[in-house]
């Protein structure tokens, strides 16, 4: 008999790759996505698969006992607001979706009696962290997005402690890959650079480009989530990164083209570097897609970003003005 999984945010970046993996493993999959950040096109290649159903709903409007959760074995919870910069200006939306939305999903899972609930957490909870960063590093969120994702994780583990809901959490470092977000918000470096490459415009590099990020390819992330679901372990959190930070300048080199340098932003680390020894030990997971190979896969599908917004130094400065004001005050306060 097929196992059944709910994937919240299943039309989004990581969620749609999770759907791919689950269907490939012969799961029946129920996607919940309000299509604010997700795209129907991300699931179009499964249009005729009877094992997949898609429900266009907001997680905050789904209550315990909803038929979507009948007979569900696993819940993979990716739904939420992922753009970092706008969280400074719209903190209520982030808290509502990323915290209260998570609680709605936890209650649905608890009442159903799922075998595992896997929460998509963020490495941003560590703040300006020592590297390589272990799971027991002190928590220090620097902006509302990071806080909201950490509070969602705390809620998940609270449901594990109080209600015995089997929960695991994956703290994702810098995920990248095909189908990443093309929303109007200024955000992750890949989407910004890819649109600029398509338009023949200079790449807007923050600082001098020597800052490093622990880029982990999206299919490796999906495999980590599946391992976290199928294990007998519950109540655990794991970092997921490649464990091999790459300088932004390496991405610039792979994409090619001219460069414009922007002021470094407060509250952003010089390096993100996941210590992944725990997930290697507990789940036998390891990253399989090299950075160069991952970028090659993205460039092969670069037309996906053709409709993404085109950012330049002036529009970025305007979009991040609130960020500079708020986090500069936080540093000096």
Domain at 36, CATH number: 3.40.50.720
Is it the case that residue 331 has pLDDT exceeding 60? no
**CB contact at 8 A, 101 and 59:** yes
User: Which structural domain, as residue segments, surrounds residue 133?
Assistant: 4-173+217-240
Q: Which of 306, 311, 83 is nearest to 204 (CA)?
A: 311
**Mean pLDDT on 174-189:** 83
Q: What is the pLDDT of residues 31-82, one digit of tens each?
A: 999 999 899 999 999 999 999 999 999 999 999 999 999 999 999 999 999 8
pLDDT confidence tier of residue 330, bands split at 50, 70 and 90? low
Number of domains within the chain: 2
**Mean pLDDT on 211-235:** 98
In the chain, helix, strand, coil percent, each to 5?
Answer: 45, 15, 40
Do residue 222 and residue 254 come from a single domain?
no
- Cα separation of 204 and 317, whole Å? 11
Is it the case that residue 333 has pLDDT exceeding 50? no
- pLDDT for res 184: 66
**Mean pLDDT on 239-247:** 97
Do residue 230 and residue 90 come from a single domain?
yes
pLDDT confidence tier of residue 325, bands split at 50, 70 and 90? confident
Within-domain flag for 252: yes
Residue 302, burial from CB neighbour count under 10 angstroms (0-12, 13-18, 19+): middle
Active site residues: 145
pLDDT confidence tier of residue 274, bands split at 50, 70 and 90? very high
DSSP H helices in the chain: 13-24, 91-95, 101-112, 144-163, 189-199, 218-230, 248-255, 277-283, 291-300, 313-319, 321-332
Do residue 28 and residue 169 come from a single domain?
yes
Percent of the chain with pLDDT over 70: 97
Q: Which of 104, 115, 8 is nearest to 56 (CA)?
A: 8
**Mean pLDDT on 196-210:** 95
Cβ-proximal residues to 312 (8 Å cutoff; 6+ apart), any chain: 201, 202, 204, 260
- Please state, in angstroms and as integers, the Cα–Cα distance from residue 174 to each residue in 48, 240, 248, following that order: 32, 9, 12
Do residue 135 and residue 188 come from a single domain?
no
Do residue 151 and residue 259 come from a single domain?
no
**Mean pLDDT on 221-226:** 98
Do residue 108 and residue 199 come from a single domain?
no
- pLDDT for res 328: 67
Do residue 155 and residue 22 come from a single domain?
yes
Do residue 118 and residue 180 come from a single domain?
no
Higher-confidence residue of 130 and 332: namely 130
**Mean pLDDT on 219-229:** 98
Q: What is the pLDDT of residues 251-270, one digit of tens each?
A: 999 999 899 999 988 778 89
Residue 267, burial from CB neighbour count under 10 angstroms (0-12, 13-18, 19+): buried
pLDDT confidence tier of residue 200, bands split at 50, 70 and 90? very high
Do residue 76 and residue 48 come from a single domain?
yes
Within-domain flag for 283: no
Do residue 163 and residue 93 come from a single domain?
yes
- Cα separation of 53 and 55, whole Å? 7
Within-domain flag for 12: yes
Higher-confidence residue of 37 and 144: namely 144
Q: Taking all residues of the chain, what is their mean pLDDT, rounded to a whole number?
A: 94
Percent of the chain with pLDDT over 90: 86
Do residue 53 and residue 88 come from a single domain?
yes
pLDDT confidence tier of residue 322, bands split at 50, 70 and 90? confident
**Mean pLDDT on 177-186:** 81
Within-domain flag for 203: yes
């Amino acid at each position: 008999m097929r196992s059944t999984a709910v994937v919240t945010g299943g039309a989004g970046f990581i969620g749609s790759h999770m759907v791919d993996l689950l269907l490939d493993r012969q799961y029946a999959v129920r996607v919940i996505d309000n299509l604010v950040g997700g795209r129907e096109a991300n699931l179009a290649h499964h249009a005729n698969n009877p094992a997949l159903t898609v429900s266009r709903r907001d997680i905050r409007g789904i209550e315990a006992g909803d038929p979507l959760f009948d007979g569900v074995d696993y819940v993979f919870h990716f739904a939420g607001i992922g753009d970092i910069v706008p969280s400074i200006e719209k903190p209520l939306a982030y808290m509502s979706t990323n915290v209260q939305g998570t609680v709605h999903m936890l209650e649905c899972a608890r009442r159903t009696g799922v075998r595992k609930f896997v929460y998509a957490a963020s490495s941003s909870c560590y703040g300006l962290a020592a590297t390589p960063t272990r799971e027991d590093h002190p928590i220090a969120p620097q902006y509302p997005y990071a806080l909201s994702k950490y509070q969602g994780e705390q809620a998940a583990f609270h449901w594990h402690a109080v209600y015995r809901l089997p929960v695991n959490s994956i703290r994702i470092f810098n995920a990248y890959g095909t189908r990443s977000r093309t929303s109007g918000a200024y955000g992750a470096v890949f989407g910004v650079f890819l649109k600029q490459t398509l338009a023949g415009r200079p790449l807007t590099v923050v600082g001098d480009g020597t800052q490093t990020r622990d880029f982990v390819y999206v299919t490796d992330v999906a495999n980590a989530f599946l391992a976290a679901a199928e294990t007998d372990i519950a109540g655990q959190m794991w970092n997921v990164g490649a464990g091999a930070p790459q300088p932004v300048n390496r991405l610039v080199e792979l994409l090619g083209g001219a460069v414009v340098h922007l002021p470094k932003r407060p509250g952003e680390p010089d390096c993100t570097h996941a210590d992944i020894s725990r997930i290697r030990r507990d789940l036998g997971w390891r990253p399989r897609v090299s950075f160069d190979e991952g970028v090659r896969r993205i460039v092969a599908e670069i037309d996906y970003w053709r409709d993404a917004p085109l950012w330049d130094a002036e529009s970025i400065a305007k979009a991040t003005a609130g960020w500079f004001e708020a986090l500069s005050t936080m540093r000096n306060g």
